[in-house]
Amino acid sequence: MSQSATKMLPEDVSAAVQPAKKRVLVVDDFDDAREMYAEYLEFAGFLVETARNGAEAVEKAQEASPDIILMDLSLPVMDGWEATRLIKNDIRTRDIPVMALSGHVLAGSEHHAKEAGADEFVAKPCLPSDLEDKIRTMLKPSKVKGKR
C-alpha cells in the first residue's frame, strides 16, 4: 500500500459494501395488516413508513420520498385510487412506483388501479414473502422509471 493511499476504517468499509436500505411506504387502514407488512419488511431490510389513509399517504410520499409505495385501495378520508392519482400527478412523487393492494378483486379492479397510475396490482391477502419478492422486482433498476 502506498503512502498516499487513504486508510479505510472498518465502518467506512461496511458502508461502502452495503447498499442503502430502500424506503417503503405501507398504506393500509387495517392496523393488523399495516403492522404485519411493516414488521416483515423491516425484518427483510427495508426502512418502513406507514400511513392509515390516502391523505396521509400523499403527505408522507411528499415528505419521506419513499422508493416504493404499497397502497391499499379501500381507505378512509381519501381512497387509494385518488391518493395514487395525486401521487402520480405530482412532479415530486410521480416517479415513485405504486403497488396497489386490494381485497376487492372484482373484475376491473386491476384496470382501475392502473388507470389511477398504479404500477402493479396485488390481491390481498398476500403472503409477506411474496410481497417482498414483488417489491424487490419492482425496485430493480430496469423497473424504476427515472428515479433519483
Please determine, for residue 142, whether its predicted confidence score (pLDDT) is greater than 70. no
* Structural domain range at position 34: 23-132
Q: Could you tell me what percent of the chain has a pLDDT over 70?
A: 80
13 inside domain:
no
55 Rama class: left (phi>0) / alpha (psi -120 to 50) / beta: alpha
Percent of the chain with pLDDT over 90: 62
pLDDT value for 7: 53
Number of domains in the chain: 1
Does 59 fall in a domain?
A: yes
Domain presence at residue 141: no
Which CATH number covers residue 120?
3.40.50.2300
Supply 83's cell numbers: 391518493
Q: Tell me, yes or no, whether 137 lies in a domain.
A: no
